[in-house]
Amino acid sequence: MDGTELSVDFLVGILLDFGGEKVVRYCEEELERGTAPYVVFANLSLGLNEIGRRYERGRFFTSDLIVSGSNMKKAVEMLRPLFKQEEMSSKGKVVIGTVRGDVHDIGKTIFSIMLQADGFEVLDLGVDVTEEAFVEAVETAHPDILAMSALLTSTTSNMKSVIDALVEKGLRKDIKIIIGGRPVNRDYAEQIGADEYGKDAIEGVRKCLSLLGRS
């Protein structure tokens, strides 16, 4: 069954199931039918993208993004071991993390899931990530984009510390940087030398695509 044969509303309903049972059952049933794992993933991505569009139009709320992101994460965990390498054509690699001193991860997690749904390879470093850990990830993973998040005003300066550390190591010129979180904005991104700012997960994905010339 391909995405054109599915009702988008049906997929949206699966992803907004608070208990998370519908997405597990959907994946199991489709796999039992012989549907390719990547097709199951692509179908669910249609639903997730629609939820994002409705969120932008004010029809859904942050809580809907959280639930759908959590359910999409369950699906990815079920399907990823079944993907064949050649089926997954990555749009780019993103290293993402919440900066040192900050342990908030809801926005970052939603962003990470939506990036994966859009075809990006994501290395999520988690929360309270030190400058050294960001630099090491850039050195070893060679991502196209580094994404940093902060929710506390007191930790936003650590974004600049990461960028300064990348400059010192000679790594800054080889990577695009996007920042996000409640206390930051476009002006702050320019001030610290980041390439882009995303006000939310939806805009963040678009900005990542634009940074790599895929918009």
How do the domains of the chain map onto residue ranges? 3-87, 93-211
Q: Which amino acid is at 188?
A: Y
Interatomic CA distance for residues 138 and 195, integer angstroms: 16
**Whether the predicted pLDDT of 76 surpasses 90:** no
Q: How is domain 93-211 classified at the architecture level of CATH?
A: 3-Layer(aba) Sandwich (3.40)
Give burial (CB, 10 Å; 0-12/13-18/19+) of 63.
exposed
pTM of the model: 0.73
Crossing angle for the helix pair 157-168 and 131-141, to the nearest 10 degrees: 50
Q: Mean pLDDT throughout 5-18? A: 89
Question: Greatest CA separation found in the chain?
Answer: 53
Q: How is domain 3-87 classified at the architecture level of CATH?
A: Orthogonal Bundle (1.10)
Instruction: Please write the tens of the pLDDT for every residue from 79-107.
Output: 878 866 445 567 899 999 999 999 888 78
Task: Using the Cα atoms of residue 119, residue 50, residue 58 and residue 67 in order, give the sign of their dihedral.
Answer: negative
Element (H or E) spanning 124, and its range? strand 121-124
Instruction: Please write the tens of the pLDDT for every residue from 55-71.
Output: 878 999 888 988 988 89
